[in-house]
Structure 1
């Protein structure tokens, strides 16, 4: 299996979740071994996608360089990761990736429009060789060896619409598009009201998030019965993109979020609990996952 980029540049404009201003997003192909980089066109600053670039995880995954940041990268990176893209330039003209409809499906459609280009250099995978785990009370996130690429997530919210949800997702690009990509981010009305009082979530609306009050949801309906845990898987896939390669193993989590996911990527590197592997198409059972 070879490294991947996109065949042609694609562009979109959307609203930033927190500032509520228009953001232009452009995706451009890059040559092999270039990796994935963000570029702030309004600042002339490049930010490489790697764990060391993460500067904040409170409200979203935020990367930065030289005091310049790009926020809310997880939905876009979830889609990029699901297509097995290794080399890509992501250009934004503000400090947020546009929220679009609160899921990853708009970014999936951009990548489908751009097309996927296979390059001449073998693709590298990160095979998990031993279990690593980060805990915070009952919350945890872990990576462990597996012959399949799996995301297993459980959440538990004291809310009548959510409650306890658990889903095991066996990864493939096709499964991602059908089962995960359309799951929207969600938040509670009381939190939205507070965030707006401090100048955040100004671009949030019922068009780009599931909003819940104390009794139910304010949106018309859910896209999936378990849309909440599906979105947490979407986020986790995006956060794992900071590893710099698609991993072979099992991700498991209970009530994890961007912060624990980030700490997990750092611990994986610190403990060197992985090996870098390349596969020919003939022996690569994972090639089907990205076809």
Structure 2
């Protein structure tokens, strides 16, 4: 399975291996042991079909490479015309894909393809709304590890399609010291000293703080690269930005909503992270209609 690079968002990378793994798992879940028994029972084997995938609402599209690969895995005779690429903004009623080929394959792949496009476009669309609210600032919006198990790479890709940025992908690509780590390790200074002593040359260290006093202690150590300002109100965030004065990267997190994100960005923090982008994004409404 080879997905044309022209269909992926120009702002994001998605591994072909991640696409292939997700499709195999999804089709196995849907087709089970006997396959699409409805299509087998009602559609002649040689019957052709032509279908159009359309957007039923405005938004940002993501997941087209997965939809295409889904149909192509079901039949080598499937032909697909993509009318746009991931990351594109679409209007209600816009054409997304035209699929033609064996009717059984088109019908069997319909729901899996729409599930991928609906889920990932929903994330991309919500992310774009958050990004829009921060226009005119230097703040970047990023996701978290609050993703659907097994779909993290896809969902983080969708965030990039919507104009957001990715936080760490897992526990293995950065050191993020949270309140429970601090409690077990015996305090901010001691936990930072330990982390710095074992961190690799290219490994960043981020630490979570809840108060200005904790931020001041972190800054005094000089051992952190990034500080996560957890659940701070606007006056406290403003004070934190002033105190840090560019010495560390600042990330605000906790309680971020579409209604609050503009004010948070206006404080001058470098990043705002929100699990809402992935764990609470509504499904994007797309449909597949057979052309008669």
**Normalising by the residue count of structure 1, what TM-score does the alignment of the two structures yield?**
0.23
> Higher relative CO (CA 8 A, sep ≥ 6), structure 1 or 2?
1
The structure richer in helix per residue is: 2
**Normalising by the residue count of structure 2, what TM-score does the alignment of the two structures yield?**
0.23
Larger radius of gyration: 2
The structure richer in strand per residue is: 1
